[in-house]
Chain A
Amino acid sequence: MLSVKNLHAGINDKEILRGIDLEVRAGEVHAIMGPNGSGKSTLAQLLAGREGYQVSAGEVRFMEHDLLAMAPEERAREGVFLAFQYPVEIPGVSNALFLKTAFNSMRKHRGLPEFDAMDFLQLVRDKMKLLGMDDKLLPRAVNEGFSGGEKKRNEILQMAVLEPRLAILDETDSGLDIDALKLVADGVNGMRNAERAIVLVTHYQRLLDFIVPDVVHVLSQGRIVKSGGAELARELEQHGYGAFEDRDALTKVA
């Protein structure tokens, strides 16, 4: 579904990604782990279409598309979803309206009739129930005055409503207490299926106790230095990222 080949990219002439190769198939959950500054968030944002990055080499295919040639809204409508590390506040725009606008723009893109307010509200309420969320968040302005946990759960709600093909979760676990983390993980697990791919970008292993990935990648200094199964995350927990920056240690772990 997603195929990244030899991707080099940076910002303001500083190279951050230095040759990323990544293959994600439908039905898989991948975790990308790495220390701060390793390029995890850059990769997530670049895939979602954030402006400001220069790609100097490599290519990204998503389904049959050249992903890097598409505008962010086109990527979204084709099914690429990014759960933001820092969800953005939009004063005066209700969560319900925002979500309905997004939902209908996707329906329109797929040639499906748009939902009216009543039908849409029903759909959102059902999703919220599944996620154990309070519908008091709906009339409130997008992310405005939301707690850290509410913001992250709001991202999961958006994902549940928009039903992407490829969901990229950028540090969705950061700043969550254990209860909130479980709720978020339940939400993500509930969306796992054979047609959907999920990429979890995270610094910590603890999220992976709740969402068990099929593949774990270790990102260091802009490269994937190791890939493996779910057990790799546990090794990381024991040895720390330092082990992967040191060549000898890397062989030891391997």
Chain B
Amino acid sequence: MPTATRQLDELIGREYKHGFFTTLETDTVPRGLSEEVIRMISARKNEPEFMLEWRLKAYRYWLTKSEPGWANIHHPAIDYQDISYYSAPKSEKGGPRSLSEIDPELLRTYEKLGVPLNEQKLLAGVAVDAVFDSVSVATTFKEKLAELGIIFCPFSEAVQKHPELVKEYLGSVVPYTDNFFATLNSAVFSDGSFCYIPPGVRCPMELSTYFRINAKNTGQFERTLIIADKDAYVSYLEGCTAPMRDENQLHAAVVELIALEGAQIKYATVQNWYPGDKEGHGGIYNFVTKRGDCRGANSHISWTQVETGSAITWKYPSVVLRGDNSVGEFYSVALTNHYQQADTGTKMTHIGRNTRSTVLSKGISAGHGQNTYRGQIKVLSGAANARNYTQCDSLLLGDRCGAHTMPYIEVKNSSAKVEHEASTSRIGEDQLFYCTQRGIAPEDAVSMIVSGFCKAVFQNLPMEFAVEAQKLLGVSLEGSTG
């Protein structure tokens, strides 16, 4: 390790010098949104004509729309003309140069999570060059995948190298007309991940944005597209379990998953963007559209999310069960502390016959946090023998937070079976006293009780992700027993 640290220090030292020069070369687009800005973004990325057309169509459509008002969230109006829609990586733009420039509170959190120093620097965007190691890892990784015909690359690269795939699948699950935020994303998206698994291939490793994100700050408007061809399998991890700090106020990402016949996609997210401070100042507004399309028969898509960050979370990872016998799953833990607000859930749309869906949602509210589960189960007339099982549980810590459950069920086929169970409980003084009487510190007791509450969801995460998600819950809950 000492050698690695020294190397890293050298790298950082180098970046410092280079950083100065790259600052001069940084691309920034003036604040505000217009056709001109979109043309500029597209030109900078050297995009083919079809991409520009698509962005412009989205932009023109966006102009006719207004923000949706149905979610149980409250925030000051967003000034869309006060945002810069394209900016080069933060570090090149003069982000923090050393750890001493980073919020000590954030560093303390890193330490608690046991994130090694190298990673702390990386994550705080101190030195992109320090990612050197990761980049090379990503490269070897890529070669291995390429042997199997798997494409895994930044979205912008896919646009250049695989335009036919992008053209065929982009917007085929979340069209640019889908909703206000998805439309905005379609017009201005900066980058994201692209993944294609060829027929019959089982991706041998968990694909993760981890390396790539660190290699290049993807910014506010990510766009991810994953296609699993016939009988293919992929497990995808989004984000990183250590807290990623981003000063951007508004995030509007889009994720599209396509599973063809017999294919399976597992998508797991641990989201812990900056939640704002204890008084509710600052923090990310996260308006995300995630949807999977079980396009072929016997296909299978599952979403697992652990949401602990952001000031506002507006997110409904959904599955369209188009193919016969297809399966959709949604496992979620959403935690809100201090003044965080989360309105999250899922939509399961049953179209094919014998389609099945499972929804398991665990909401935890502490401090002044507000947590809403919003779910829609829709069974169309052709979906004979469709089945859904939904369970939403809410856990309250203290008496100033709130939990809300809003299930919508729409069934048009009489052979369908839809079940919904919901519960709300409070961490009782009894439970807490029982733990402390055994010598367990109150903070540890709360985090243990909460982990127990979330166990059924964590079981769906890959092992190391689950462990870190648990730690993260502990950190996010800090101060909630006071």
Interface residues of A (CB under 8 A from B): 48-52, 71-73, 75-77, 81-82, 84, 87-88, 90-93, 97-99, 101-102, 105-106, 109, 141, 158, 162
Contact = CB atoms under 8 A, between A and B. Distances in A.
B439 interface: yes
B456 A77 contact: no
Interface string B251-289: 000000000000000000000000000000000000000
B448 to A, nearest CB: 6
A50 B456 contact: no
14 contacts: A49-B433, A51-B429, A81-B437, A84-B434, A90-B431, A91-B452, A91-B453, A93-B448, A93-B451, A98-B435, A102-B438, A105-B441, A109-B439, A158-B438
A98 B448 contact: yes
Interface string B434-477: 11111111101000110111111000000000000000000000
Contacts of B444: 101, 105
Contacts of A88: 428, 430-431, 433-434
Interface string B71-101: 0000000000000000000000000000000
Contacts of B449: 90, 93
Given A91-B452, A93-B451, A76 B430 contact: no
Interface string B401-433: 000000000000000000000000000111101
A156 to B, nearest CB: 14
A84 B436 CA distance: 13
Contacts of B434: 84, 87-88, 90
Given A50-B433, A105-B440, 13 more contacts: A52-B429, A72-B433, A72-B437, A76-B436, A77-B439, A88-B430, A88-B431, A91-B452, A93-B451, A102-B438, A102-B439, A105-B439, A109-B439
A84 to B, nearest CB: 7
Contacts of A158: 438
Contacts of A141: 452
B418 to A, nearest CB: 25
Summarize B's interface: helix, strand, loop or mixed: helix
A77 B441 CA distance: 10
B438 A98 contact: yes
Contacts of A77: 439
Contacts, number: 76
B437 A49 contact: yes
A74 B477 CA distance: 22
State the 7 A-B residue pairs at the shortest beta-carbon distance, nearest first: A92-B452, A102-B438, A93-B452, A76-B439, A92-B455, A88-B434, A72-B436
Most A CB contacts (10 A, CB to CB) among B438, B441, B453 go to B438
A51 B481 CA distance: 14
B451 to A, nearest CB: 7
A99 B444 CA distance: 13
B433 to A, nearest CB: 6
Given A90-B431, A101-B444, A71 B436 contact: yes
B457 to A, nearest CB: 10
Contacts of B428: 88
Nearest to A102: B438
Contacts of B452: 90-93, 141
Given A93-B449, A101-B444, A106 B439 contact: yes
Nearest to A109: B439
A49 B439 CA distance: 11
Given A102-B440, A106-B439, A158-B438, A92 B431 contact: no
A211 B455 CA distance: 40
A13 to B, nearest CB: 19
Contact of B433 (A51, A98, A102): A51
A72 B106 CA distance: 31
A72 B442 CA distance: 9
Given A72-B436, A73-B442, A76-B439, A101 B430 contact: no
Most buried by B among A51, A71, A98, A106: A98
A101 B433 contact: no
B441 A73 contact: yes
A72 B454 CA distance: 26
A101 B448 CA distance: 9
A26 B178 CA distance: 74
Most chain-A Cβ atoms within 10 A of its Cβ — which of B429, B430, B453, B456?
Answer: B430
A231 to B, nearest CB: 33
A152 B450 CA distance: 25
A61 B183 CA distance: 69
Contacts of B442: 73
Nearest to B438: A102
A43 B133 CA distance: 62
A137 to B, nearest CB: 16
A97 B436 CA distance: 15
Contacts of B431: 88, 90
A27 B456 CA distance: 46
A191 B155 CA distance: 67
Contacts of A84: 434, 437
A48 B437 contact: yes
Contacts of A73: 436-437, 439-442
Nearest to B429: A51
Contacts of B455: 92
Contacts of A106: 439
A84 B454 CA distance: 26
Nearest to A101: B440
Given A97-B448, A105-B444, A76 B438 contact: yes
A151 to B, nearest CB: 12
A162 B439 CA distance: 9
A70 to B, nearest CB: 11
A71 B442 CA distance: 10
A158 B434 CA distance: 12
A87 B434 CA distance: 8
Contacts of B456: 92
Contacts of A97: 448
A162 B438 contact: yes
A99 B438 CA distance: 8
Nearest to A144: B452
B454 to A, nearest CB: 7
A82 B430 CA distance: 13
Interface string B312-336: 0000000000000000000000000
Nearest to A48: B437
